[in-house]
Amino acid sequence: MTKYIFVTGGVTSSLGKGIISASLAKLLQARGYKVTIQKFDPYINIDPGTLNPYEHGECYVTEDGAETDLDLGHYERFLNTATSQANNVTTGRIYQHVIDKEREGAYLGKTVQVVPHITDEIKRRMCLLGEDEKYDIIITELGGTVGDIESLPFIEAVRQLRWELGGNDSLVIHLTLVPFLAAAGELKTKPTQHSVKTLLEYGIQPDILVCRTEHHLNSDIRKKLALFCNVNINAVIESIDAPSIYDVPLLMLKEQLDKTVLTKLKLSTKNEPDLDSWKIFLGKLKNPTAEITIALVGKYVELPDAYKSINEAFIQAGAINECKVRVKCIAAESINDENVKEKLKRVAGVLVAPGFGERGLDGKLVAIQYVREHGVPFFGICLGMQCAVVEFGRNVLKLKNANSSEMDPKTKHPVIHLMEGQKHVKNMGGTMRLGAYDCEIKKGTKAAAIYGKSKISERHRHRYEFNNHYLAQYEEAGMIASGINPENNLVEIVELKNHPFFVAGQFHPELKSTVANPHPLFVSFVAASLAHSKVVKQK
């Protein structure tokens, strides 16, 4: 029978519920258990697809095309297993389902209420992944913090579900903050006590406390927390600030979080976790033999979480190359013809990031022209690929004012244009080419050498495509379409013939990069950038 773990948060947001959930799942997986994680978000948006990245960080796209919370990226990077639409549920999706059923008459005229109708739907979704008994353990992370109005239906659903499941088939982990007051020179447990008290008022006794802290918890602090929060002393887990999120599984192993969980769920602890490959990765990550700086040119550079998966993919690709990758974020709007050389002259490579809209477009085009003409390794993702096509059209093919019809609907040369099936869509959200699509790679190309195979699958999130009307012109001038979608003949990858590394994809390779399998495009781009930096130093 599937066991359920619920992870709640208290005191403040951004304590790292996603990382703790992913780390625990990694430890349980390393012990041989089949584990998955799901995220329940309390906001009323149907999904994060229409949210500004400054609001909620990046929108993470799954294989089946779901636009989800960025925590699902952590789940996949740690576990190396794909998530799906079922792994991320929002209040908006819950309410939409219940209201649709009410309109259909499914409730037989009854008054539709938060309890039982909303809570029943939340419970149904919480148990959905466990119905086919594919997993031994399902971890459910609840977004927000205990005490938020938005979170109340989720907390109530957990209370009911725990009662229905019984004692040994579920547990609650409460992640909270133990702050250090510098003036007093001591750690304070009161915020945690109040947070647990609030949880108790809702009818939930946490089984395990994970305490985020900047300083180690001594035995007195642990005893105090155990006593006043009514948990076993071995269930007070220290989560100290770590140099990297990839250190957290080993820190949780040291604190015996996985062992405590399994004991409480009455599951075997005899198989010690196999973390050899994880430790090898960490060893390479912490002991690089080289260091490079790669420029990330984009719109949302003020918020690191806006490009979370890209930054993590660089960490993973850097470790494989035994190279520390420093990502230098440059606002596209700040780049122009006069300063581009100064901004990019010290970087080993340039990545132009994905996004929507025309803000910063000119800066991206200037950056791409510079790296194309100066032999600097270039990697374009989604809009970055489209910008590479526009820049090449304007400056090499001399197509005056060539553009994407997203930026200029009246352009005479729409080298990037709207997909036919999207021309009459008016609603935003869920209207794009989303999720995994196949791609066939041409032999003898750089893409073929990078992937080492002719057929791949990558995840998409966009509406606009390369305009095949111009394809012959581009290929004749040296920009090759090295990857093509076999179903509809859409261009997936472009590259330049006579350039050390100039590759751009219509898809988002960062979404498939994991600790166990760093993405080959990132690995190759980092390797090319490392080689370029050595050449520059020799000069």
Q: What is the mean pLDDT of residues 256-284?
A: 95
Q: Which residues on adjacent β-strands are paired with residue 175? A: 9, 210
Q: How far apart, in whole angstroms, are the C-alpha atoms of residue 79 and residue 38?
A: 13
* CA neighbor of 88 nearest in space, from 135, 131, 34, 126: 126
Q: Which helix (H) or strand (E) holds 22?
A: helix 17-30
pLDDT digits 0-9 by tens, 445-468: 999 999 999 999 999 998 899 999
Question: 440 catalytic, yes or no?
Answer: no
Query: What 8-state DSSP symbol labels residue 322?
Result: T
In order of 74, 142, 248, the CA distances from 18 in angstroms are: 7, 9, 11
Q: How far apart, in whole angstroms, are the C-alpha atoms of residue 7 and residue 142?
A: 6
Q: What is the mean pLDDT of residues 223-237?
A: 96
Phi, psi of 216 (to 5 degrees): -65, 145
Two structure tokens written together for 164 = 């229905």
Q: How far apart, in whole angstroms, are the C-alpha atoms of residue 178 and residue 10?
A: 11
Side chain identity at 526, as an amino acid letter?
Answer: V
* CA neighbor of 230 nearest in space, from 209, 251, 247, 248: 209
Q: How far apart, in whole angstroms, are the C-alpha atoms of residue 295 and residue 264?
A: 47
Which residue numbers belong to the known binding site for Mg(2+)?
71, 141
Q: Which of 59, 323, 382, 439 is catalytic?
A: 382
Conformation bin of residue 124: beta by default, left when phi > 0, alpha when psi is -120 to 50? alpha
Local confidence band at 539 (pLDDT 50, 70, 90 cut-offs) = low
Residues in the chain: 539
Q: Which of 413, 417, 499, 508 is catalytic?
A: 508
Local confidence band at 420 (pLDDT 50, 70, 90 cut-offs) = low
Local confidence band at 423 (pLDDT 50, 70, 90 cut-offs) = low
* CA neighbor of 119 nearest in space, from 159, 148, 166, 68: 159
Which residue numbers belong to the known binding site for CTP?
13, 148-150, 188-193, 224
- pLDDT at residue 325 greater than cutoff 80: yes
Question: 387 catalytic, yes or no?
Answer: no
Local confidence band at 430 (pLDDT 50, 70, 90 cut-offs) = very low
Q: Which residue has the tokens 């995220």?
A: 39
Q: Which residues contact 431 (CB under 8 A, 6 or more apart)?
A: 422, 425, 463
Which residue numbers belong to the known binding site for ATP?
14-19, 71, 242
Two structure tokens written together for 112 = 């539709």
In order of 80, 156, 516, the CA distances from 272 in angstroms are: 20, 35, 19
pLDDT digits 0-9 by tens, 174-191: 999 999 998 888 999 999
Question: 55 catalytic, yes or no?
Answer: no
* CA neighbor of 469 nearest in space, from 397, 533, 520, 376: 397
Per-residue pLDDT, 419 = 66
Local confidence band at 406 (pLDDT 50, 70, 90 cut-offs) = confident
Two structure tokens written together for 1 = 């029978």
pLDDT digits 0-9 by tens, 88-136: 999 999 999 999 999 999 998 899 999 999 999 999 999 999 998 899 9
Q: Which of 67, 238, 465, 510 is catalytic?
A: 510
Q: Which residues on adjacent β-strands are paired with residue 35? A: 137
In order of 275, 318, 519, the CA distances from 287 in angstroms are: 18, 11, 21
User: Is the Cβ–Cβ distance between 482 and 488 less than 8 Å?
Assistant: no
What is the average pLDDT score of the chain?
92
Q: What is the chain's Cα-based Rg?
A: 25
pLDDT digits 0-9 by tens, 53-97: 667 678 899 999 888 988 999 999 999 999 999 999 999 999 999
User: Is the Cβ–Cβ distance between 307 and 58 less than 8 Å?
Assistant: yes
User: Is the Cβ–Cβ distance between 258 and 26 less than 8 Å?
Assistant: no
Q: Tell me if residue 517 falls in helix, strand or coil.
A: coil
User: Is the Cβ–Cβ distance between 148 and 42 less than 8 Å?
Assistant: yes
In order of 111, 354, 469, 478, the CA distances from 450 in angstroms are: 59, 21, 28, 19
Q: How far apart, in whole angstroms, are the C-alpha atoms of residue 379 and residue 386?
A: 12
Position with higher pLDDT, 431 vs 12:
12
Q: What percent of the chain has pLDDT over 90?
A: 79
Which residue numbers belong to the known binding site for L-glutamine?
54, 355, 383-386, 406, 463
Q: Tell me if residue 390 falls in helix, strand or coil.
A: helix
Per-residue pLDDT, 359 = 81
Per-residue pLDDT, 537 = 66
Q: Tell me if residue 413 falls in helix, strand or coil.
A: coil
Local confidence band at 286 (pLDDT 50, 70, 90 cut-offs) = very high
Q: How far apart, in whole angstroms, are the C-alpha atoms of residue 239 and residue 246?
A: 13
- pLDDT at residue 424 greater than cutoff 60: no
- pLDDT at residue 394 greater than cutoff 80: yes
